[in-house]
Structure 1
Amino acid sequence: MFHLVVIGLLALAAPAMAAGDEPGYRLVLIGDSLSAGFGLSDEQALPAALGRALAARGLANVRVINAGVSGDTTAAGLNRFDFSVGPDADGVIIALGANDALQGQPPAQARANLAAMIDRAQVRGLDIVLAGMLAPINLGETYRQEFDTLYPALAAEKSVPLYPFLMEPVALHPEFLQRDGLHPTAEGVERMAEPLADFLVEALFNPAEPAP
């Protein structure tokens, strides 16, 4: 009798387990505190909000994986890239560089690190989106120009879609930032997720047909 009960419970659990294990499309967001969800719960962080925004656009099969680590620079992201963007990944959003700028690190080094990550993703055949960052205004015009232009230049060189500025929806809106003035609130994250989802729909899931 005991065995029959166990078998019956396993039979009931099997469909749910199979449905839950359905991989769908695994999109890894590798970044820093902006994607890790600094000061927020996991469900309030950008990957979760982005997953909901994509589901609302008919892409419920897309699972957005949070591979953000607070404080990471592009060098740290490169060091953990293969581990963080695991073998089951289908696509990756590379959203790193903000901490490089905050620390005043050489833009050329940030570009080299981002290029190496893109190269690794391309070798693996992953879909890639590069999320741009902008340098703080207090670093001077020369630094800002070199840093801000590295993202569009790199995206063009590597032929990957560029989402111009991850913080665009909240950068000039302190009401959507936490007290530190750097990290988005939960509402700010939702504002960030919506246009990013629109961009991904076109860049990854509904790419324009090549010209004849």
Structure 2
Amino acid sequence: MNPAQSYSDDERRHFLRYTRTPQWPMLQRFPIDDDGHLGLLAGMLASRPDTVASMIRAMHDETRARAARMLADDGYRSAVAGLRLRPDDRIVAVGDSITADRLGWFELLAASTGPTGAALVNLGVSGDTTADILERFDTLEAAGPGHVLLMIGTNDARFHGRAPGYRMATIAETERNLRALIDLITHQLGASITVVTPPAVDQDRIDASFAGAPVRWTAEAVAEVAEAVRKVAPDAVDLYETTRAGATAGFLEADGVHPTPAGHELILRQILDRLIRTR
């Protein structure tokens, strides 16, 4: 983004929705304080720190309100209670922008659990591939997880450059990285893990949203990544299969890649169902 450029409130909100600078690896390894992060975001958006803070608070409040509405449903409330979170539990989510989303599934989970004392840590970083997660494994280790929720792969299927362009990772590379991550998490960290396939995407929306841009996704490539996840982790939560048929029915934003807040509810319910059956 060009600091000299003027951005609308909608553009600023969109950027802040998916951008969490405290999770950026370099800023975790050499941390700065909260005011520093606000100043950094404000500088990128040609805005004021108090404006940025207000927009972030608004999204936080929006997520809490959505969680409260979900908790009014007996089934969802029982599912959350079924997690039986303990004060010493540390659940860490690792992924890309779908996890980093301030209106997303993991933030909804954190807002739903109440004062259990358990730590729910969001390590989602927008744009991350499986290789990026490997590169920042030290930050995952530093988080001290007891359980890791790993949803990654959408950006392995991302293409850069004009057609035909270059894919970020081959299927062989994705499989290798996933196997390495699972091994590191389970054996070196001694943590349990829930692997989640990436959700389906909508090709028509992608083509319209990214027309003329030197970056894009294809539904075929995302399907290949989902299959690779199932191959490496046969017990993975198959979010792709759940969303494949209904990707256009209110699940995805206009870009065809990111889930809507309603889509995140679906994601959370499916992951939650798995968690309460395996705890």
Band of TM-score, shorter chain: 0.5 to 0.7
Matched-pair contact (CA < 8 Å) for 1:167–1:192: no
Q: Structure 2 residue aligned with 1:186, among 258, 261, 273? A: 261
Is residue 238 of structure 2 the alignment partner of residue 164 of structure 1? yes
TM-score by length of 1: 0.68
> Taking structure 1 as reference, are residues 180 and 82 closer, same or farther at Cα in structure 2, changes over 3 Å only?
same
- Residues 95 and 152 in structure 2, CA contact (< 8 A), matched pair in contact too: yes
In structure 2, C-alpha distance between the alignment counterparts of 1:24 and 1:83, rounded to whole Å:
19
Letter in structure 2 aligned against 1:122: T
Query: Paired residues, what number?
Result: 170
Higher relative contact order at CA 8 Å, sep ≥6: structure 1 or structure 2? Answer: 1
Deviation at 1:184, TM superposition (A): 1.5
The counterpart of 2:193, out of the listed 128, 142, 147, is: 128
Identity %: 29
CA contact (8 A) 1:132 1:166 kept: yes
- 1: CA distance, partners of 2:222 / 2:269: 27
Deviations 1:5-57 (A, max 9, x none): xxxxxxxxxxxxxxxxx9531111100000000xxxx3x2221212345x38x
Structure 2 counterpart of 1:31? 95
Counterpart position of 1:195: 270
- SS of 2:253's equivalent? coil
CA distance 1:94–1:113, change in 2 (3 Å): same
- Alpha-carbon contact 2:154-2:225 (below 8 Å) kept: no
Do the aligned partners of 2:87 and 2:116 also contact (CA within 8 Å) in 1? no
Q: How far is the alpha carbon of 1:87 from its aligned partner?
A: 4.6
- Report the TM-score, using the length of structure 2 for normalisation: 0.53
- 2:179 maps to 115
Structure 1 unmatched ranges of 5 or more: 1-21, 206-212
Pick closer, same or farther for the CA change 1:144–1:45 going to 2, 3 Å: closer
Q: Per the alignment, do residues 198 and 52 of structure 1 end up closer, same or farther by CA in structure 2, a change over 3 Å counting?
A: farther
Secondary structure of 2:127's counterpart equals coil
Asked if 1 retains the 8 angstrom alpha-carbon contact of 2:97 and 2:124, the reply is yes
Equivalent residue, structure 2, for 1:100: 156
Does 2:104 correspond to 1:45?
A: yes
Match for 1:35: what amino acid?
T
Q: Which is greater in Rg? A: 1
**Partners of 2:198 and 2:222 within 8 A in 1:** no
Task: Render the CA deviation track for 1:162-204: whole Å, top value 9, x for unaligned.
Answer: 111268358523423222121122222122211211111112x
Structure 2: segments with no counterpart, 5+ residues: 1-85, 160-166, 204-216
Aligned-partner Cα distance in 1 for 2:263–2:180? 31
**1:90 Cα shift?**
0.6
